[in-house]
Amino acid sequence: MESTFCKLTLVVPSDADERIIELMLGSDPPVTGFTMWRADGHGESFRSASIGERVRGRVERSVFIAVMELSRAKSLVEEIGREAPIPHMAYWIEPVIEFGRSGVAIPVEHLFGATP
């Protein structure tokens, strides 16, 4: 069975992270399992960068990752665009072959109530 699970990565300006958290938790169905961290971005344009970011040569970003069904990832990206459009947001979707916790691999077809 070919997996339809993926890892969605969102990279947003750090001042937009609360909007993303609220949207993910308030979405239907909510995205309850995700990881977020702060990062420094090195992009093509610094037009909207603060003076401090221009001096440092990088911009502050928040990175979110979540594993979910591919259709859900696509609908979440569309929902963000409708409900909380964020300038300079980048995203990408990658296939997930396997997912595990504490040394125990879980085939993706067993995740999130999917049947093998």
Supply the pTM of this predicted model: 0.78
* Residue 57 CB partners (closer than 8 Å, separation 6+): 42
- Find the domain containing 21 and state its range: 5-113
The CATH number that applies at residue 24 is 3.30.70.120
* Count: domains in the chain: 1
Q: What is the pLDDT of residues 18-73, one digit of tens each?
A: 999 999 999 989 998 899 999 877 666 666 666 666 556 667 889 999 999 999 99
